[in-house]
Amino acid sequence: TLQERELLNNLDKLKFFLATAPSRWNSDPSSSTALAPAGHPHSTHPALNRFLLPNQEYVSCVLWGGLYHITGTDIVRALVFRFEAFGRPVRNMKKFEEGVFSDLRNLKPGVDACLEEPKVRFVPGLLF
């Protein structure tokens, strides 16, 4: 159906964003040669690359300290969208989030990921 094709198209765009967001930065937002593909709304902040999900929520990739970061909350958003797109909606959001965050806590800093403490100082730097 058309709806299924749209969901698959959005999944492909999300997958592309997650794979390429760290390498697709445009230092000049007014540039007509932007590297951002469809689905990457241009951010007014030079260290923020965002993807708009069909439910109007964003998944963001943040450049901070020379590294690229995605929040646990954005990981949950992306996963929830993927599950819903495949007809498997999350029934208990709290349990689902707890499971994702538990898995994220099991990552090893410097090996599996670069981990930052909750409410790290780069967040206020992006907001103000």
Q: Enumerate long-range contacts of 33-41, CB under 8 Å, 24 or more apart.
A: 37/13, 38/13, 39/10, 39/13, 39/14
What pLDDT score was predicted for residue 33? 40
- Longest CA–CA separation in the chain, Å: 46
Q: Taking a C-beta distance cutoff of 8 angstroms, is the pair 122, 62 a contact? A: yes
What pLDDT score was predicted for residue 35? 45
Q: Domain total for the chain?
A: 1
Range of the domain at 50: 2-28+35-127
How far, in Å, CA of 50 to CA of 62, rounded? Answer: 9
User: What's the predicted TM-score (pTM) here?
Assistant: 0.72
What pLDDT score was predicted for residue 122? 55
CA atoms within 13 A on the CB side of 81: 25
How far, in Å, CA of 2 to CA of 25, rounded? Answer: 32
Local confidence pLDDT in tens for the 128 residues of the chain: 888 889 889 999 999 888 887 776 554 444 434 444 434 455 566 677 888 998 899 898 887 777 778 888 899 999 999 999 888 999 999 999 999 999 988 887 777 677 666 655 655 555 44
Partner residues linked to 52 by β-bridges: 58
Residue located via tokens 């993807």: 51
Q: Taking a C-beta distance cutoff of 8 angstroms, is the pair 49, 21 a contact? A: yes
